[in-house]
Structure 1
């Protein structure tokens, strides 16, 4: 069983959370504030409607929030100085592969220069002790062999999103060596797998697409039904980020990057199998169609992460199997479709997750 974040550690900590209006950011804000952290949010307004950020109460629980672009250097620096954070968790990003093909310049500006802006402003923060930059499982130079990537593997990217996140990894490495090695603040990157969980309403994500298809009474189009991904629940992923942040703050790890993904003992699950499993768990009968033969931007067919280093250094393991991940996700959406409050559903799952079920 994986370790969990220590509420005693987080109580009263000043945390600067970028991307707090997004799917993972909204879950992170709920968990952090539940543990007593003093969270300052910085992000754009949600681009999905509905959004988990709004459903759980927008700025509820935050010390303050700034609705602004990570590319706005002056506003970002001012927000950081006002917060004077002890910990920064950087999640703000352009996170979609297909959008990166349509808007490559924006993707590189947000994911690369946004990270530069954050690190540059962070250099002058006196109280800062830990800075974790969230990238992705897609930072590796994927050779499509189906093997599970380890942290020392070559970085790369066959699409603008993956390439921008790999470039962000190099930015962090450069700033760490040039400006942070001699200081008290530790900076690192976290590479999470494909995340599932309630409250994701983004475009081009498998579970939100299922929910939208069900509510519209239409079949689901799947671009790559046979592609495999390292599926994990959002709480498992965030558990890794929070444990890593704690360890950086306390000086308990020397790792510059860690992978967070499902156990290697679990089989690689294709997208189509996930769609069918979530359908079944929600009691739906949404048919899906294979549209991979249509004119689609290139996406990798195989992707896997080796999370062994996170297990050894942090005591982190995925607490939910991939099937449990789909069941928990389905329970959230099923409850929400039937009228339950998103905030209540989310806090209940955080409570169950941290109890160890």
Structure 2
């Protein structure tokens, strides 16, 4: 799939570009020649994949809170993007309990602000909005959630993402459904993403890496919980491919797509730990019996729609997914930014060879 022809020299806004997925997406876009404008309110973690890669020197970047409608309107009007990837979010389930209002404002109203700004957009623009697999009403089913299943979300994070999906659908039906419409919008819902460069708190791999590099024992909350684990590059490629497909097939406007591993390849938290041990020796963990907040134990996504309409499919085995992730962090432990940049670019090149 030749993405260069689609994105080279095109104007692309990435919100949340300083985050984990946002930095990988931004790196891939710069590697294929896109003119990227990043929009984020801050650097969300220390260390930061974005800073380690030196992306601030390779793209234009604006320090803007996604909640600031006036500034978001100004950016879209002045930059006149060909593509927008909206990733800016409060993305941690646990944090949504302690920062509930901020989670709702960022995840719901941040999305509304993008949509509201597009009402004044006169240029043909493809917008890919990233929500979450947590947007579905969880009924602990093994069948895997499809895009037309009931939205829900019991925790504040999942509920805010579900609400964002409702807002997207409302705006499309109300404002972006005319014959002369210039805005083509889709949403995506991805499973649990792992990969190098994630330093967020209360996520499995980052928490483990922080402990293992200090030769400490990691506390594990829910070892038997099943998640649709996938490498960050699987998802980033899905975002880019979706943007390409809707550019050529406007009938996809208003659709949502799941990006997740094949359901037979969903694994438990304990499986991720055991597989990690193959690539990082002498790691240890212990089970934390006390639960401070509720989490779903079973979460599966059905990726049939992405397979059918986008010709997207998972390309990495579970073992390869974990290996690429652990390899990146082992490279990071050498504390050489040049090696980290090369490792990240090399992993993108390796993945592209599979496409």
With structure 2 as the length reference, what TM-score do the two structures score?
Answer: 0.95
Structure scoring higher RCO (CA < 8 A, sep ≥ 6) equals 1
1:265 offset after TM fit, Å?
3.6
Q: Which runs of 5+ in 1 are unaligned?
A: none
Q: Is the CA contact (8 Å cut-off) linking 1:206 and 1:275 kept in structure 2? A: no
**Whole-angstrom CA distance in 1 between matches of 2:138 and 2:2:** 32
Determine helix, strand or coil for the equivalent of 1:59: helix
| 1:33-72 pair list within 5 angstroms | 33-62=30-59, 64-72=60-68
Task: Say how many residue pairs are matched.
Answer: 350
Aligned to 1:7: 4
Aligned to 1:121: 117
Aligned to 1:259: 258
1:32 to 2:29 alignment: yes
Q: Is the CA contact (8 Å cut-off) linking 1:147 and 1:303 kept in structure 2? A: no
Equivalent position to 2:144, from 145, 148, 154 = 148
Q: Is the CA contact (8 Å cut-off) linking 1:223 and 1:290 kept in structure 2? A: yes
| 1:61-140 pair list within 5 angstroms | 61-62=58-59, 64-140=60-136
Aligned to 2:228: 230
**Whole-angstrom CA distance in 1 between matches of 2:250 and 2:101:** 38
**Whole-angstrom CA distance in 2 between matches of 1:205 and 1:256:** 29
Decide whether aligned partners of structure 1 residues 110 and 5 sit closer, same or farther in structure 2, where only a CA change above 3 A counts: farther
**Whole-angstrom CA distance in 1 between matches of 2:219 and 2:142:** 24
1:219 to 2:220 alignment: no
Determine helix, strand or coil for the equivalent of 1:237: helix
Superposed CA deviations along residues 32-73 of structure 1, whole A, max 9, x for unmatched, are 1111111110012122111001100041321x2111210011
1:251 offset after TM fit, Å?
2.2
Superposed CA deviations along residues 147-199 of structure 1, whole A, max 9, x for unmatched, are 31011100000100000000000010000001111113211100011101101
**Whole-angstrom CA distance in 2 between matches of 1:310 and 1:336:** 33
Aligned to 2:153: 157
Equivalent position to 2:318, from 301, 319, 322 = 322
**Whole-angstrom CA distance in 2 between matches of 1:226 and 1:159:** 20
| 1:189-208 pair list within 5 angstroms | 189-208=187-206
Q: Is the CA contact (8 Å cut-off) linking 2:141 and 2:300 kept in structure 1? A: no
The range that moved more, 233-242 or 142-151, is 142-151
1:80 offset after TM fit, Å?
1.5
Aligned to 1:343: 341
Give the ranges of 4+ consecutive aligned residues of structure 1 lying more than 4 Å apart after TM superposition. none
Aligned to 1:312: 308
**Whole-angstrom CA distance in 2 between matches of 1:350 and 1:234:** 10
1:146 offset after TM fit, Å?
2.8
With structure 1 as the length reference, what TM-score do the two structures score?
Answer: 0.95
Q: Is the CA contact (8 Å cut-off) linking 1:214 and 1:284 kept in structure 2? A: no
Aligned to 1:186: 184
**Whole-angstrom CA distance in 2 between matches of 1:324 and 1:217:** 24
Decide whether aligned partners of structure 1 residues 272 and 17 sit closer, same or farther in structure 2, where only a CA change above 3 A counts: same
**Whole-angstrom CA distance in 1 between matches of 2:310 and 2:19:** 26
Decide whether aligned partners of structure 1 residues 66 and 155 sit closer, same or farther in structure 2, where only a CA change above 3 A counts: same
